[in-house]
Amino acid sequence: MFRYPNGKPYQPKNTPKKKQQPSIVYSNRGMTLEEDLNETNKYYLENQLAVIHKKPTPVQIVNVDYPRRSAAVIKEAYFKQSSTTDYNGIYRGKYIDFEAKETKNKTSFPLQNFHSHQIEHMKSVINQNGICFVILSAFNDFYYLDATHLLVFWERQENGGRKSITMEEIKEKGHIIPIGYQARIDYLKIIDKLYF
């Protein structure tokens, strides 16, 4: 059992069974957003384009069962601290920090996918002139959404407004990320366009 720093048990969300999508949908290629991003970042690193890594989630193991000498089973563990965002690194001398999120929702992106400590972390990165954004897998595409826009949507929710970002808002404020062969989710193209 995993626990958050406040002692509350971690409960994974029940995910509904996947429905078969038409073969033209990218998700049928067998990769998840995280796997695609990891492959993209590996390509960037190997070609000396950028150094971006997935941040490990700090976990403290409390109880381990050793049923036999060659196998260990973790029975209880705690998250040491709240995680911030998924990825960080450096590109062309600028600090990069971003979160990756997916939704199956067909009309909007629920803000409940983000946590307040992640939002606070993004604000801190922006205040230090870092490049901070989210990569959204939604509506059969990948979108780059600058964190400044996400913060506006988050504040709207905090003030009693809409609890999601509409598809139209994502298409207006976000940028579709081209899908490639080597750099599968080539988000550096968007960063080049916006910052360099």
The tokens describing 105, both together, are 């929702």
Give exposure, 163-173, as e/b (b: 16+ Cβ within 10 Å): ebbebebbeeb
Query: What does the pLDDT read at residue 120?
Result: 95
Backbone angles phi, psi at 131, to 5 degrees: -95, 115
Which residues neighbour 109 within 8 Å (Cβ) at sequence distance 6 or greater?
101, 103, 136, 138, 164, 165, 167, 170
Q: Is 7 left (phi over 0), alpha (psi -120 to 50) or beta?
A: left
Flag whether 172 is marked binding: no
Q: Which domains does the chain have, with CATH numbers?
A: 2-195 (3.40.1350.10)
Flag whether 86 is marked binding: yes
Query: What does the pLDDT read at residue 50?
Result: 97
With contact defined as beta carbons under 8 Å apart, do 110 and 122 qualify? no
Q: How far apart are CA 122 and CA 87, in angstroms?
A: 12
Local mean pLDDT, 10-residue blocks, the chain (196 residues): 70 58 41 90 97 84 81 78 85 97 93 93 97 95 97 97 96 94 93 95
The tokens describing 194, both together, are 């916006």
Flag whether 107 is marked binding: no
Query: What does the pLDDT read at residue 23?
Result: 39
Flag whether 48 is marked binding: no
Q: Is 95 helix (H, G, I), strand (E, B) or coil?
A: strand
Query: What does the pLDDT read at residue 55?
Result: 87
Cβ neighbours of 83 (radius 10 Å): 16
Based on its alpha-carbon atoms, the radius of gyration of the chain, rounded to whole angstroms, reads 18
With contact defined as beta carbons under 8 Å apart, do 137 and 109 qualify? no
